Amino acid sequence: MSDPAPIFAARRRSSVRPGLRPSGRRRGGFTLIEVLATLLLMAIAIPVLMQAVSVALNTADAARRKTEAAALAQSKLSELVATGDWQSAGTAGDFPDHPAYHWQSAVQAWGDGSVEQLDVEVSWLEKGIERTYVVSTLVYPAVTPAGQQDAANAASSAASSSGTGTSTGTGTTGGGK
């Protein structure tokens, strides 16, 4: 038998000249086309992402303002009922700690006239557009502020015992004018 070593011992000669890279192998780095494609993609994506961030910030600011207006309206409504000032027609004013917000209240007949609806509307400017938030509750006319809770409890127990009647509640709406 012949020795197999000489068959495997033969070296392949490369036909590549010195200084040229062999075909099939790639050097590290990017081609000009890859760099240009990446720059084009970034030129499209970055403005879209910035717009999305801007929209998110504007939405968060609008939600914060609406939440703040709701809290101020509820606070003013509670104050008007507790002090009895709701019975003064056409009450309105500003919030000293929140100068961007203004409030006004209105009373209107509700049902058979034994109960009235008290609305407190808080308004503010948002990007040049007036926005409002309204909170409402039912109050009993000609009843002292301390008696408001007693009257509400009496109406609630009468409604629950007879199965019908009026009840007090708070409703909110929001929107622009």
Predicted confidence (pLDDT) per residue in 31-76, tens digit: 999 999 999 999 999 999 999 999 999 999 999 999 999 999 999 9
**Weakest mean pLDDT among 30-34, 90-94, 104-108, 152-156:** 152-156
Contact 118, 77 (CB under 8 A): yes
Q: Greater confidence, 167 or 53? A: 53
3-class secondary structure, 23: coil
The residue to which tokens 């009840």 are assigned = 167
3-state secondary structure of 158: helix
Give the side-chain half-sphere CA count within 13 A for 53: 6
Query: In angstroms, what is the C-alpha Rg of the chain?
Result: 38
Spatial distance between the Cα atoms of 50 and 37, rounded to a whole number of angstroms: 20
| pLDDT tens per residue, range 95-128 | 999 999 999 999 988 888 889 999 999 999 988 9
Give this prediction's pTM. 0.59
pLDDT, residue 77, reads 92
Domain ranges within the chain, ordered by starting residue:
46-176
pLDDT of residue 94: 92
User: pLDDT above 70 covers what percent of the chain?
Assistant: 64
For residues 174 and 154, the model is more confident at 154
